[in-house]
Amino acid sequence: MTLMSYRQALHDTLRSEMLRDENVMLMGEEIGVFEGSYKITAGLLAEFGEKRVRDTPIAEEGFTGAAIGAAMLGLRPVVELMTINFSLIAIDQIVNHAAKIYGMFGGQAKVPMVIRTPGGGGQQLGATHSQNIELYYAFVPGLKVVAPSTPADAKALMLAAIRDDDPVLFLENLALYNTKGEVPDHDEPAIIGKAKVTREGSHLTLIGYSRMAYVAKKIADQLADSDHLDIEVVDLCSLRPLDRETIINSVKKTNCAVVVEDDWLTYGIGAEVAATISDGAFDYLDAPVRRVAMAEVPMPYAKSLETAALPSEDDIINAIYQTLDAIGHRRSKTGPHD
Amino acid sequence: MTLMSYRQALHDTLRSEMLRDENVMLMGEEIGVFEGSYKITAGLLAEFGEKRVRDTPIAEEGFTGAAIGAAMLGLRPVVELMTINFSLIAIDQIVNHAAKIYGMFGGQAKVPMVIRTPGGGGQQLGATHSQNIELYYAFVPGLKVVAPSTPADAKALMLAAIRDDDPVLFLENLALYNTKGEVPDHDEPAIIGKAKVTREGSHLTLIGYSRMAYVAKKIADQLADSDHLDIEVVDLCSLRPLDRETIINSVKKTNCAVVVEDDWLTYGIGAEVAATISDGAFDYLDAPVRRVAMAEVPMPYAKSLETAALPSEDDIINAIYQTLDAIGHRRSKTGPHD
Amino acid sequence: MSTAKRPTTKASTATKTASVTAKATATKKVAAAAKVTPKATPPKKSPPKKTTVVSSDAVQLLDYYREMLFIRRFEERAARAYTQALIGGYCHLNLGEEAAVVGLMSALRPTDYLFTNYREHGYAIARNIDPNAIMAELYGRVDGVSKGWGGSMHMFDMEHRLLGGYGIVGGQLPLATGAALAIDYRGGDDVVMCTMGEGTSNIGAFHESLNIAQLWKLPVVFVVINNFLGMGTKVELSSAEPEIYRRAAAYRMPSARVDGADPIEVAAAARIAVESARAGQPYLLEVTCHRLRGHSVVDPAKYRSASEVEELKLHDPVHNLAERLLNLGLTDADTLAALDEAMLARLDEIAAFAEASAHPDVNTLFDYTYATPVPNDSRRLPGQSLFDENGVAR
Amino acid sequence: MSTAKRPTTKASTATKTASVTAKATATKKVAAAAKVTPKATPPKKSPPKKTTVVSSDAVQLLDYYREMLFIRRFEERAARAYTQALIGGYCHLNLGEEAAVVGLMSALRPTDYLFTNYREHGYAIARNIDPNAIMAELYGRVDGVSKGWGGSMHMFDMEHRLLGGYGIVGGQLPLATGAALAIDYRGGDDVVMCTMGEGTSNIGAFHESLNIAQLWKLPVVFVVINNFLGMGTKVELSSAEPEIYRRAAAYRMPSARVDGADPIEVAAAARIAVESARAGQPYLLEVTCHRLRGHSVVDPAKYRSASEVEELKLHDPVHNLAERLLNLGLTDADTLAALDEAMLARLDEIAAFAEASAHPDVNTLFDYTYATPVPNDSRRLPGQSLFDENGVAR
Ligand SMILES: Cc1ncc(C[n+]2csc(CCOP(=O)(O)OP(=O)(O)O)c2C)c(N)n1
Ligand SMILES: Cc1ncc(C[n+]2csc(CCOP(=O)(O)OP(=O)(O)O)c2C)c(N)n1
Ligand SMILES: [Mg+2]
Ligand SMILES: [Mg+2]
């Protein structure tokens, strides 16, 4: 185990996979000379050269599509899209091509590629640069979508994504890059399509992915200390496939759930999670599944408004207590949230 | 009232709005000389000339964006995207520009435009031409998304959409174009953001939009005749805003619901509907909300596989009966669906 | 990545030294030409002069004719099956494009790759894919080239290196560019050809792909089949530069325009383009031809005036080549009639094969969502509930 | 739609007959020129010769200098506020682009429209928008040009016809084309200018927009600010045709390249471009200049070599213009120093204004989702449940 940042885990995994398999190559805007907008690829151009670390023009559709075509011939390109917002320019290639080629041609061509891109918000980047639209990819059969919340998962899921023969949308998060955690030294890939219980508990199931899984864990740990609450945390890890079993099993135990997400509530990722729980744990659920999500507005630049539009830790804590209240949970300690 | 097809209702409304307001103009591929891929705009080039009925190059991003820019200066463009699948090429302009301009600039510029586009499937068009991705737009604050299921609604919602000062995604459906219905002669716009109870009933709430609202109504009428079932049908009409009140009020009465949709189940439109019901009608719901939706595969071309992947009327009927069974509803007549 | 680099990469494959030298020279020449003037090839506005037929050309011409006629009869058969509802979806035919198809395909090695669009039956035939499998694909059957999953617009055959018909206008361009990148990356000397219509040259992906191909010196030939119409839209109303090959200038890419009436002319132009690409200099080739019928089988093409329809008759490449063969004394009317007869009989067999082929089994519905199996992927049929009786999600 | 049509549309505005005639002629000339050779304007590779300064030019030069210096000081102040965390998000500056900015803006009438990108503070200033409002926008306050909703990348002012800074590369191009369409539709004689960086010329929207603009003869000037870098990427590595103005050939659009070091040169070139557009012939103008600092305030630009950094000093347009004014005897060092002093004082006031302006009230969060009110839109704050105590959705 080594303590390192999420950024470092990504960087090191890309590097070790490039060393392992010469078909792995990187493409994207500013990943080489500039060393990456968020420095995930720092040093890799110097180490591997222009052939394997390819700076592209600003042409998301063109180079993402080129990566798909290269993958059809057996390369394993890892594309960086600078932020998920810019993926809208490449989405036709991702949804209509990467996701379709295997099925549309009756299984004759595989598309082994990874699209890495950070979501996130809260950096005053304004309406077009603060969206969390992983939903667009999670919705599409033929794609796999993963969203790690820890450095260890970033490594294990990146290993899995690169070695997978299908196109994988690998969701990173601006706010997670500097977070740290223990990372195994071995190269054991995660299993895509599996969620994780990152904290066992019996009072309530708190569900998130990417940054919100991180926040959820933090809050659960904190409430265990401060309020003696025993919250179970589920980190979805994979958005497609969605591991319904892990979610349902948790709620069958806790009888209530709060879903936290960084995207808009209506039609957001949490809608499926809530619908899944309400269906699969119908007889176990003691209160409506509560969703905590962004306000439904084009994200304003001004800090005051942005803060109001984004889910805060207090919002999540309040949602937890309101849900517990609804099911008549007796608090073991009266905390500051009454 | 006049009996006419959904196609005719659209055509006539576009025409009458063009006569009413000279700022209304049409843009799109093949809408003029070719008279529209699905002939909605037939005859309008001849009547209004090239200035107001503009054939565009195959450049969805370019001309959809041009319509947005023209709307910023006060025109009211109605853009036709040949099918919703091709909207992926224009989606950056729709989501990052049309939906954002009003908010991002603090309310200084309005974007009064309509994007008309048909969804649908079941025509053996294969994986890239059979998707129902209205979700992508319904998810976005700043857009309004409507999806009429009858000729009368097509007219009333088109009137509303053209006269609205916001960008409206107007979802049509290939399979509805030839369906007929009575259409009021007056020009009364619908209210965007409102769902409709198209059939009152007490046994179960059946919810759909676009083609599936049409199918739902048909099935409900049929089951009333054949099985003396009293099903309430909710036609969402508007996907954003979503009229949760109408949905919830219906389920509070019937205590159970089936949602039918032409898109993929996981993360589909029905997920939000189901989550909404499970939350807002939590204490009223006697069985899980059942969703009937497409199989989650890239749509195959072969008829045998396509048929298997698409929800059929029998699938819906079975879902209704399974839901009624679950709540112990005693059938008034034993039908063929046991 | 750079012109200088390709030969080096290739030289590392020791066994290929001889051809490497040839290629390196060619690369330099093309690159130099491209440098002097961005438009490496001067416009050809007037239709090219007819080539004098020497005897090897004679054999060639007859071969081309046979192939073109077969494509013609295949497409007519497809149209018939479509109107009989044996074929579904959209169905776009190569009628009028036959000379272009066979000329272009003759310039490719069997190991070269082709990416094309939805109007690709003829290309599949000319790439020597079994016509039975092509027709079976149209019928949506298990013996189809894409096992019935693709249909008319989505033919694919890895063995014959047809890497897809694509139905999204322009979608194939980035893919083809990427395939060329993979070849370059590995140091092989295969070439990618990517065809499209002239209407397609107006979409963003055209710009992004040509720019990337030229920047990285990828072995790809972009071919624009300019049939002067995209559905009902005339080229002058869709392209501000209606001579599409000129657009290569925006990328300092060499280009040329050739009249697609004559397979020999097309083949010659295509060979130049392909060898340029093989030497690391991508190329844009425009081939003009005429779409003899509607955009797809169902389009009556009412937007064409009577005189336009009349004029079209002069542009039937199959008919014209037959005339030419007769005029040159290379064949006679009886031989041609017999040939046609034989082909029609062959197509009866092909259609019978397609019709006899099985419909894909519904049990295979979930076979091609993912290449690497993954837990928790959905295998729910539309009528099934999300959770089964045991509470397990499907 | 067509060249022939524009004058007719305009002639219907009876009061404008005189100018209409002039424009009609101009239109014809430009169109004719465009026809003879796709590249209407020959390349200007060598830097333009220095213009001899006549007295009216002298006044002009001094004015330009004042404006350029103000932009320079404004941007430096913004950088400072950014590092003090008074400004959030991204912050891209016009440092090195000042001559281009003032030259370009001087060619526009107040009624002409400007669409630009995220690097637009200087443009907003040169369009005569109140600098207090520009700075307040950077601070995210209610008195900002976009009421604090846009920030550095999204300045907007309908009155001054700045129709937006945009943060998605290339996003502004289709919009600008559409604004020109609206002008053309209504028969006005306003012009739209749309600026972008050279890196942006590689994105699909560039291709689609220029093609549409030329096809429909829209009154729009596309301006490429070629600062030879897109973030850290050199133009030769992003554009296969690094002289961007040449790309106009792909649309038979006239174009020119001008050295952005000299505001007078830029203004002259911009006037030609704008008047061409006004006459119905869109135009592509490339303006070269040098980005003096990083891509955005936080970018240390480590990818620049020491010699490149050294060379940059020669390209500071503000410094160079000061030298020139001094050499020409049009001003003296004391005057310039006093001017600078005054500006710095002015910027203190501006920053103070911005800082004093209120933060937007949280109650306004739902004010700008929709222009036409609609029932059932969500006004739920993140911490609120979907249904309130009364079961009503929020
Ligand atoms: C992105 C996209 N837009 C529109 C269409 C509908 N469409 C299919 S073919 C076609 C015309 C293409 O014209 P061209 O490129 O000239 O090829 P041709 O059909 O003439 O061979 C159009 C508009 C599509 N399939 N994809
Ligand atoms: C679609 C999209 N891709 C990428 C980015 C990130 N990005 C912002 S500015 C920029 C460089 C643009 O370079 P150029 O057009 O030359 O303009 P400059 O910044 O030099 O003025 C990039 C890549 C973006 N904002 N939008
Ligand atoms: Mg064509
Ligand atoms: Mg630049």
For C343-378, how does the pLDDT look when each residue is reduced to its tens digit (9 = 90+)? 999 999 999 999 999 999 999 999 999 999 999 999
Instruction: Find, in chain D, the residue whose alpha carbon is nearest to that of B162.
Output: D372
Helix, strand, or coil (residue D264): helix
Contact A298 B102 (CB under 8 A): yes
pLDDT digits (tens, 9 = 90+) for D197-219: 999 999 999 999 999 999 999 99
Q: What's the CA gap between C75 and C81, in Å, rounded?
A: 10
Please say if the pLDDT value at position C261 is more than 90. yes
The predicted pLDDT at position C201 comes to: 98
Q: Identify the band that residue C12 occupies on the pLDDT scale cut at 50, 70 and 90.
A: very low
Residues of C in contact with B34 (CB under 8 A): 231-233, 303
Report residue C55's pLDDT band, with 50, 70 and 90 as the boundaries.
confident
Q: Is the pLDDT of residue D258 over 80?
A: yes
- pLDDT (tens digit, 9 = 90+) per residue, D12-21? 333 333 332 3
Helix (H) or strand (E) holding A290, with range, is strand A290-294
CB within 8 Å of D56: residues ≥ 6 apart:
none
Chain B residues close to A288, C-beta within 8 Å: 278-280, 282
Q: Where are the alpha helices (DSSP H) in D12-97?
A: 17-36, 55-83
Concerning whether B60 is annotated as a catalytic residue, the answer is yes
**pLDDT tens digits for C18-49?**
333 333 333 333 333 333 333 334 444 444 44
The answer to whether D339 and D69 have CB atoms below 8 angstroms apart is yes
Give the Cα-Cα-Cα angle D253, D257, D258 (nearest 5 degrees).
140
Length, in residues, of chain B: 338
- Does the active-site annotation cover A47? no
**Which residues 251-280 of chain A have a CB within 8 Å of chain D?**
265-266
- C-alpha to C-alpha distance for A325 and A334, rounded to whole angstroms: 12
Model pLDDT for residues B155-185, shown as the tens digit of each residue: 999 999 999 999 999 999 999 999 999 999 9
Estimate the share of chain D in helix, then strand, then coil, as percent rounded to the nearest 5: 50, 10, 45
Answer yes or no: is pLDDT of D1 > 60: no
A22 — contact with chain C (CB < 8 Å)?
no
Mean pLDDT value across residues B255-259:
98
DSSP state of D47: P
**Domains of chain B as residue ranges with CATH:** 2-183 (3.40.50.970), 196-326 (3.40.50.920)
Residues of C in contact with A194 (CB under 8 A): 375-376
Contacts of C201 (CB under 8 A, 6+ apart): C224, C239, C244, C247
Catalytic residue among B11, B17, B29, B60: B60
Q: Which two tokens stand for residue C4?
A: 């200088």
Residue C375 and residue A194: Cβ atoms within 8 Å? yes
CA–CA gap between residue B30 and residue B37 (Å, rounded): 6
Domains of chain C by start residue, with CATH: 55-359 (3.40.50.970)
Average pLDDT over residues C210-239: 98
Best residue for ligand 1 mutational test, from C91, C200, C286 (most atoms within 8 Å of Cβ): C200
- Six-digit token pair at C148? 């019935």
For residue A84, pLDDT over 50 is answered with: yes
In angstroms, the CA B225 to CA A331 distance is 54
Q: Least CA distance to B281: which residue of chain A?
A: A288
Q: What is the 3-state secondary structure (H, E, C) of chain B?
A: CEEEEHHHHHHHHHHHHHHHCCCEEEEECCCCCCCCCCCCCCCHHHHHCCCCEEECCCCHHHHHHHHHHHHHCCCEEEEECCCHHHHHHHHHHHHHHHCCHHHHCCCCCCCCCEEEEEECCCCCCCHHHCCCCCHHHHCCCCCEEECCCCHHHHHHHHHHHHHCCCCEEEEEECCCCCCEEEECCCCCCCCCCCCEEEECCCCEEEEECCHHHHHHHHHHHHHHHHHCCCEEEEECCEEECCCHHHHHHHHHHHCCEEEEEEEECCCCHHHHHHHHHHHHCCCCCCCCCEEEEECCCCCCCCHHHHHHHCCCHHHHHHHHHHHHHHCCCCCCCCCCCC
Query: CB-based contacts of D317: which residues, under 8 Å, 6+ apart?
Result: D68, D96, D97, D98, D99, D100, D260, D261, D262, D263, D289
Give the distance from residue B323's alpha carbon to the nearest chain C alpha carbon, in angstroms.
10
- Categorize the per-residue pLDDT at D53 as very low, low, confident or very high, splitting at 50, 70 and 90: low
* Ligand 1 centroid – CA B58 distance (Å): 7
Name the residue with the closest Cα to ligand 2, atom 18. Answer: D197
* Chain-chain contact of B280 with D378 (C-beta, under 8 angstroms): no
Question: Inter-chain contact A129–D167, Cβ cutoff 8 Å?
Answer: yes
CB pairs A-C closer than 8 Å: 187
ipTM, interface predicted TM-score of the complex: 0.94
Q: Which residue of B has its CA nearest to A279?
A: B288
pLDDT, average across residues A197-207:
98
Options A30, A61, A129, A337, the catalytic residue: A129
Contact A30 D366 (CB under 8 A): no
Per-residue pLDDT at D15: 31
Residue D10 has pLDDT above 90, yes or no: no
Task: Quote the pLDDT of residue A336.
Answer: 43
Beta bridge partners of D221: D193, D283
> Which residues in chain D touch residue A319, judged by CB atoms under 8 angstroms apart?
383, 385
pLDDT > 90? residue D71: yes
Q: How distant is the Cα of B88 from the closest Cα of chain A, in angstroms?
A: 5
Q: Are A288 and B284 in contact (CB under 8 A)?
A: no
- The minimum-distance atom of ligand 2 relative to the CA of D197 is 15
Q: Residue B134's pLDDT is what?
A: 98
Strands B76-80 and B53-55: unpaired
**CA-CA distance, A168 to A78, in Å (whole number)?**
9
For C135-171, how does the pLDDT look when each residue is reduced to its tens digit (9 = 90+)? Answer: 999 999 999 999 999 999 999 999 999 999 999 999 9
**Angstroms from B164 CA to nearest CA on chain C:** 30
Residue D352, number of CB atoms within 10 A of its CB: 12
Taking a C-beta distance cutoff of 8 angstroms, is the pair B291, B322 a contact?
no
Mean pLDDT in residue range B96-112: 98
Given a contact cutoff of 8 angstroms between Cβ atoms, the answer to whether A119 and A134 are in contact is: yes
Q: For residue D52, what pLDDT is reported?
A: 54
Residue from B30, B35, B61, B129 carrying the catalytic annotation:
B129
Over the Cα atoms of chain A, what is R_g?
A: 20
pLDDT at D46: 46
Q: Which of A59, A288, A314 is opposite residue D383, by nearest beta carbon? A: A314
Cross-chain CB nearest to D214 (options C207, C240, C250): C240
Cβ contact, residue pair C251, D237, below 8 Å? no
Per-residue tokens: A232: 């179970």
Contacts of A276 in chain C (CB under 8 A): 386, 393
Residue D25 is predicted with a pLDDT of 33
Q: Which of D207, D210, D237 sits opposite C215 (nearest CB)?
A: D237
Task: Inform me whether the pLDDT recorded for B314 exceeds 80.
Answer: yes
Backbone angles phi, psi at D6, to 5 degrees: -50, -55
Give yes or no for residue D134 having a pLDDT over 90.
yes
Q: Give the DSSP letter string of A5-63.
A: EHHHHHHHHHHHHHHH-TTEEEEETTSSTT--TTSTTTTHHHHH-TTTEEE--S-HHHH
Whether C99 has a pLDDT exceeding 50, the answer reads yes
**End-to-end alpha carbon distance in chain C:** 47
Cα angle A38, A43, A49; round to 5: 120
Q: Confirm if B6 and B177 have CB atoms less than 8 A apart.
A: yes
Q: Which of A105, A234, A277 to mutate to test the interface with C (most CBs of C within 10 A)?
A: A105
- The structure's pTM equals 0.94
State whether A55 and D89 contact (CB < 8 Å). Answer: no
Give the burial string for D15-43 (b: 16+ CB within 10 Å, else e): eeeeebeebbebbbebbeebeeebbbbee
Q: Which chain A residue's Cα is nearest to D380? A: A295
Strand order through the sheet with B290-294: B196-199, B231-235, B204-208, B257-264, B290-294
Average pLDDT over residues D220-228: 99
Query: Percent of chain C at pLDDT above 70?
Result: 86
Neighbours of B300 (CB within 10 A): 32
Contacts of A322 in chain D (CB under 8 A): 385
DSSP D16: G
Mean pLDDT value across residues C237-242: 98
How are beta strands C233-234 and C229-230 bridged, if at all? Answer: antiparallel
Q: For residue C130, give the amino acid letter.
A: D
Confidence of residue B331 (pLDDT cuts 50, 70, 90): low
Is the C-beta atom of D198 inside 6 A of ligand 2? yes
C290 Cα: distance to centroid of ligand 3 (angstroms): 9
> Would you tell me the crossing angle of helices D55-83 and D98-106 to the nearest 10 degrees?
130
Mean per-residue pLDDT for B94-120?
Answer: 98
**Beta strands A76-80; A144-146: pairing state:** unpaired
Residues of A (273-332) whose Cβ lies below 8 Å from C: 276, 279-280
φ, ψ (nearest 5 deg) of residue C221: -110, 120
Kindly identify which residue of chain C lies nearest to residue A96, measuring between CA atoms.
C168
In angstroms, rounded to a whole number, what is the distance separating the alpha carbons of residues D3 and D253? 13
Residue B62: C-alpha distances to residues A145, D107, D172, D212 (Å): 30, 26, 10, 7
Q: Scanning the structure block, which residue is given the tokens 């990285």?
A: C216
Three-class SS of residue A284?
A: coil
Q: Which of A29, A60, A80, A272 is catalytic?
A: A60
Please state the rounded mean pLDDT for residues B242-268.
Answer: 98
pLDDT tens per residue across span D275-287:
999 999 999 999 9
Range in C41-55, C76-90, D20-34, D350-364 with the lowest mean pLDDT: D20-34
Asked whether the beta carbons of residue D378 and residue A296 sit closer than 8 angstroms, the reply is: yes
Q: Return the bridge partners of D230, or none.
A: D233
| pLDDT of A4 over the 50 cut | yes
Measured CA to CA, the distance from residue A167 to residue A71 in angstroms comes to 9
Say how far apart CA C180 and CA A256 lie, in whole Å: 53
**Pocket-testing residue among D98, D123, D166, D169, ligand 2, by greatest number of atoms within 8 A of Cβ:** D169
Q: How far apart are CA B39 and CA B37, in angstroms?
A: 6
Confidence (pLDDT) at B328:
87
Residue from C155, C216, C166, C217 nearest C194 by CA: C166
Instruction: Using an 8 Å CB-CB cutoff, list chain C residues near A164.
Output: 372
